[in-house]
Amino acid sequence: MKQSILQIVLDTPLDSSFDYRWQASDESEAMPQIGQLVQLSFGRREVVGMIVGISAESDVPAEKLKSVQAVRHQLPPLSKQWLALCRFAADYYQRPLGEVALPGLPKNLRALTTVALDRGLKKLQQAGVPHDATPIDVAQLNPAQQQAADAIAGATGFAPTLLYGVTGSGKTEVYLQAAAQILAHSENGEDNPSQILILVPEINLTPQLEGNIRARFPGVTVATLHSGLAEGERMRHWLAAHLGQARIILGTRLAVLASLPHLKLIVIDEEHDPSYKQQEGLRYSARDLAVWRAHQLGIPIVLGSATPSLETWHHTQSGRYKKLELRERAVRDAVLPQVRRIDMERDKPSEGLTSILVSALKQRLERGEQSLLFLNRRGYAPVIACDACGWVSNCTRCTSFMVLHKPEHRLRCHHCSLELRIPKSCPTCGNVDLQPLGRGTQRLEEGLRAMFPEARVLRIDADSTRRKGSAQAAFDSVHNGEVDILIGTQMVAKGHDFKNLTLVGILNPDTALFSHDYRASERLFAQLMQVAGRAGRAAQKEGGSASEVLIQTRYPQHPLYAAVIAHDYDRFATSLLEERAQACLPPYIYQALLRAEAKELETAIEFLQQAAHCIEHTGITMHDPIPMSMTRVANVDRAQLLIECPSRPGLQAFLTDWMAQLRQIKTRAKWSLEVDPVDI
């Protein structure tokens, strides 16, 4: 009987692979291969694992060696390259391989029954991933776009490129035409059909682009991968990619770990976007993994943005990445909007709106044009308070306030999801006159409706789009001209191509100017440029308004606003990089953050102190353990320890040794390590 020893990884925090025996169920069963899934019992559980090695013998005594129950032969094995990507991610982020490789697969593949898998495979054999095919006209690229598309499609080997193009410069068109060239090329050649991976930051941006791509590439199978798909769908799309049927794969960050055997180009749209960073579990940067993947495969990768991350900008300055530039808007006669500051000390707002902004809104209403008001704070008011005794609506479980949600008649904590009825009177002194303080999108909406009863006002934020499909419906109604004034949080800031929008009002951006987070100004700048970029994307109509962005601020002199007005990312980025160099901050230093949480803060701090002293370290700066700025969330106290090193390999080597020591420490604190942290 055929038999061998399999090294198998499982989705557990245990840092190793496990040996299992395999015996052919009958003579006809094929030998197992690396990258195949297997079903087995682990402890008392039955689980699905992945084969990462095969050998003739094991160090485990024969009587202790268990047998696998079944090898999933129906699924072609994951490739060596894919496993290498997972291994790199596991090593880099200091996680066991199994915790990277298995959660990266659709749930249905890891299910204990293969019913869904078999059904999915059958469906794909019959029909592939469905696509509708109404071809559309393809825009004639302008010379700068053409040059960029040719450069991308013509690149050979690992070629990281920043496509640096102002908002509305037609970056999407460049990606798609470069993709078309590569697909056409492989069609004619003897190679396998090429695959192209396009990553986008947010789910709510994908439908528009997805429709666009399907129309552009009739007959080409397009797969989408994001967390909004139902499990069955997700598996089918994943399989289409894995089997090479899908040629274009459009997805959010999780798609970077998809199995793509014929990958020839990676595109990362809006590469600066924070949502490329996973903020729990394996805290990976999809952008960084994508660059590694392109390097491993020796293929081009395009990072597109109007406001690149400083890391990427730094790489273009050092020459590591090539820079392609699109300086103008693609639509003829569409120009970048004029940006102005409104000094809120001089023009005192009522209902959150200065008189200048109100008259600008009026003008748009009269001309039948759309306006967008950007306020990055959902809810009605961030807190309610009692004037009589000073009571404020603190969350009892977090270091934060309960936010007033008026339409829902609730107080909600945005950190632990605690919900309470709105108290009728002050819980401490009985005063019935509780006041909302500050303004969120709901309150702005209320004020606007009162001010412009005839206007069609729509609010888009996480609360208004909870139901599946409602975000898409909301965006559609803006595109269809059914909305006059759109109110939105960062959900509306990115990517959308609203053709009839000529005014953007930015409310209350100042708080980020004084954040303790050194990345706050980089983010604010990108956010303002992005939201400003929603205005004036079509040519100005005759008798229509010139597109305009109005920023309401108490600090009109702040240099960040001056840079936004000048649409001058270059200078702003260069000065930020200088600051970072002087202050020895990333990208001039490499960081890792050890986090600990416990019922009591002391337990967390104690663990971090032990962690700081459990190892010799040279060339590493170890900061003092401190409570996190929001210390308590859901009745758990949190603390952190930052470490820094001027060399990435130096940091990596240290972390590996350190992790081994950390695992020995006995503590009641829960802890985790983040490499290249972004929220410190």
E strand or H helix that includes residue 626: strand 626-633
Q: Draw the binding track, 324-363, toward ligand ADP (x: CB under 6 A; -: no contact).
A: ------xx--------------------------------
Cα distance between residue 90 and residue 288, in whole Å:
13
In the chain, the N- to C-terminal Cα span, in Å, equals: 57
Residue selected from 60, 70, 116, 141 as contacting ligand ADP according to rule CB under 6 A: 141
Based on CB atoms, which residue is closest to ligand ADP, 258 or 326? 326
* Closest distance of CB 140 from ligand ADP, Å: 6
DSSP state letter for 376: -
Residue selected from 106, 168, 300, 436 as contacting ligand ADP according to rule CB under 6 A: 168
Q: Which of residues 525-554 bind ligand ADP (CB under 6 A)?
A: 537
Helices (H) and strands (E) in the chain, counts: 17, 28
Q: Which of residues 485-504 bind Zn ion (CB under 5 A)?
A: none
* Closest distance of CB 271 from ligand ADP, Å: 12
Burial 231-255 (b: 16+ CB within 10 A, else e): eebbbbbbbbbbbbbbbbbbbbbbb
Q: Draw the binding track, 481-500, toward ligand ADP (x: CB under 6 A; -: no contact).
A: ----------------x---
Rg, C-alpha atoms of the chain = 27
* Closest distance of CB 526 from ligand ADP, Å: 13
| Interface stretch with Zn ion, choices 221-229, 413-421, 492-500, 646-654 (CB under 5 A) | 413-421
Based on CB atoms, which residue is closest to Zn ion, 205 or 398? 398
- Residue 142 binds which entry of Zn ion, ligand ADP, none, CB below 5-8 Å type-dependent: ligand ADP
Beta-bridged to residue 362, according to DSSP, are none
Based on CB atoms, which residue is closest to ligand ADP, 70 or 141? 141
Contact present, 204 and 252 (Cβ < 8 Å): no
| Interface stretch with Zn ion, choices 394-402, 514-522, 599-607, 620-628 (CB under 5 A) | 394-402
Cα distance between residue 221 and residue 213, in whole Å:
10
Residue selected from 108, 145, 441, 489 as contacting ligand ADP according to rule CB under 6 A: 145
Cα distance between residue 381 and residue 425, in whole Å:
17
Residue selected from 11, 19, 99, 173 as contacting ligand ADP according to rule CB under 6 A: 173
Per-residue tokens: 393: 């609506």
E strand or H helix that includes residue 172: helix 171-188
Residue selected from 197, 257, 373, 395 as contacting Zn ion according to rule CB under 5 A: 395
E strand or H helix that includes residue 628: strand 626-633
Rule CB under 6 A: is residue 455 a binding residue for ligand ADP?
no
Based on CB atoms, which residue is closest to ligand ADP, 105 or 324? 324
- Residue 173 binds which entry of ligand ADP, Zn ion, none, CB below 5-8 Å type-dependent: ligand ADP
Non-local CB neighbours of 377 within 8 Å, separated by 6+ positions: 438, 439, 440, 441, 489, 508
Based on CB atoms, which residue is closest to ligand ADP, 225 or 334? 334
Non-local CB neighbours of 615 within 8 Å, separated by 6+ positions: 657, 658, 661
* Closest distance of CB 572 from ligand ADP, Å: 19
- Could you tell me the sign of the dihedral formed by the alpha carbons of 31, 34, 37, 42, in that order? positive
Based on CB atoms, which residue is closest to ligand ADP, 286 or 330? 330
DSSP assignment of 419-438 equals EEEPPSS-TTT--S-EEEES
Residues shown for the chain = 680
Residue selected from 72, 171, 214, 315 as contacting ligand ADP according to rule CB under 6 A: 171
E strand or H helix that includes residue 214: helix 206-216
| Interface stretch with ligand ADP, choices 67-75, 137-145, 365-373, 563-571 (CB under 6 A) | 137-145
Backbone angles phi, psi at 24, to 5 degrees: -60, 135
List residues near Zn ion by CB under 5 A. Answer: 386, 388-389, 391, 395, 397-398, 413, 415-416, 418, 426, 428-429, 431
List residues near ligand ADP by CB under 6 A. Answer: 139-142, 145, 165, 167-173, 330-331, 497, 537
